[in-house]
Amino acid sequence: MRPLKELVRPNIWELSPYSSARDEYKGVTATVFLDANESPYNTPFNRYPDPLQLEVKAQLEKLKGVPQASIFLGNGSDEAIDLVFRVFCNPGKDNVVAIEPTYGMYAVCADINDVAYRRVPLDKDFQMDADALLAATDENTKVIFLCSPNNPTGNVLHRAQIVKLLTGFSGIVVLDEAYADFSSAPSFRKELDAYPNLIILNTFSKAWASAGIRLGMAFASPEIVALFNKVKYPYNVNILTQKAALDLMNKRHELNDWRNRILHERATLMANFKLLPCCKHVYPTDANFFLAKMDNATKIYDYLIRQGIVVRNRSKIMLCDDCLRITIGTPQENTSLLRALRQYSV
């Protein structure tokens, strides 16, 4: 890895961050707070939230096996993705490299930040060729984006290829593990110490069943997390979200239960999907969704909409011709989908 200072935008490296009232007061036990121009009347939201979300991170440290100094929390993973661009990529000059197809937010954030986005196609099994990604980099490539299990393909990327990039690329590697809770493949969280250029993304939006609270996690070296904290909005995670996250982590047996039910339903739904005359192929998955090649995906998508069922039409995406992406729902929802498709087929 190149020295962090060479990878970070000079203005960010030099930045003196905003210092909030709650940043400046630390440690002492105080009872009278007249420092932040808050209202004294307890709504109960009159106080600003903890800018560093330390209570949430203390729980996450145990749960994820990552020290607090290596945890960043944001307004969804999307905030962390945007921060990667704002911290590392000089607009109009630097570029990033990513697998294709993958999660659409990386390219959108690149466009917003005026950073060139280089797409390297996966192979027909949706696996990546680390050498092809390395060949797409140049001296202005700051970041490589990977997603495993990948969205929309559902598969995990081969571990050896990921390691090859982590060791062979001198910039930052972002590994989005939003769906890792549904996979039997081990997370790279345990490898953070070995790879100082690794940023892992996780989210409360999928397995934690809490897309509505907007809470995303990034795990990285304390130096990278410190850079994210310097650039983020001072109070980027609100009190309601922090409270909801603490409550969720206290009932995590339910998480296991939901995950097991989703995995069970996934197997049933995929087995039935393969039998549908309108389905040509079901791709293997390690996520809470799967990709299916259909006999005319757009026609089937429109038909399902008329039945009040919404799936994701991915047929315009590279390597996903005629593919629908199906999220695993409740047994009732999955049955409704199958029933509609059986009627379509006859």
Q: How many residues bind ligand PLP (CB under 6 A)?
A: 13
Nearer to ligand PLP, 53 or 203 (CB): 203
In the complex, the smallest distance separating the C-beta of residue 207 from ligand PLP, rounded to whole angstroms, is: 11
**Closer Cβ to ligand PLP, 110 or 178, answer by number:** 178
Structure tokens at 166: 């982590």
Residue environment code for 15-51, b if the CB has 16+ CB neighbours within 10 A, otherwise e: eeeeeeebeeeeeeeeeeeeeeeeeeeeeeeeebbeb
Please give the structure tokens belonging to residue 192.
């953070």
Candidate list 60, 84, 109, 147; residue touching ligand PLP; CB under 6 A:
147
Dihedral (CA of 118, 122, 127, 133) sign? negative
Question: Min. distance of Cβ 157 from ligand PLP in angstroms?
Answer: 12
Under rule CB under 6 A, residue 151 binds ligand PLP = yes
Name the minimum Å distance from CB 147 to ligand PLP: 5
Q: Does 205 bind ligand PLP (CB under 6 A)?
A: yes
How far apart are the C-alpha atoms of 236 and 297, rounded to whole Å?
Answer: 40
Is the bond preceding residue 152 a cis peptide, omega within 30 degrees?
yes
Closest-CA residue to 210 (of 313, 77, 84, 106): 77
Helix axes 297-306, 331-345, angle to 10 degrees: 120
Between CA 156 and CA 133 the distance in angstroms is 17
Task: Quote the least distance from Cβ 298 to ligand PLP, whole Å.
Answer: 22
216 belongs to the binding site for ligand PLP (CB under 6 A): yes
Stretch that binds ligand PLP, among 75-83, 162-170, 239-247, 254-262 (CB under 6 A): 75-83
**Only segment of 76-84, 165-173, 189-197, 247-255 that touches ligand PLP (CB under 6 A):** 76-84
245 or 341: CB nearest ligand PLP: 245
Q: Distance between CA 133 and CA 169 in Å, rounded?
A: 9
Q: Does 177 bind ligand PLP (CB under 6 A)?
A: no
Binder of ligand PLP out of 77, 241, 242, 315 (CB under 6 A): 77
* Residue among 103 and 195 whose Cβ is closer to ligand PLP: 103
Q: For residues 193 and 32, what is the distance between their CA atoms, to the nearest angstrom?
A: 41
- Min dist CB 99 to ligand PLP, Å, is 11
Query: Is residue 183 a contact point for ligand PLP (CB under 6 A)?
Result: no
Q: Given the structure tokens 């047994």, which residue do they identify?
A: 331
In the complex, the residues that contact ligand PLP under the rule CB under 6 A are: 76-78, 103, 147, 151, 176, 178, 203, 205-206, 211, 216
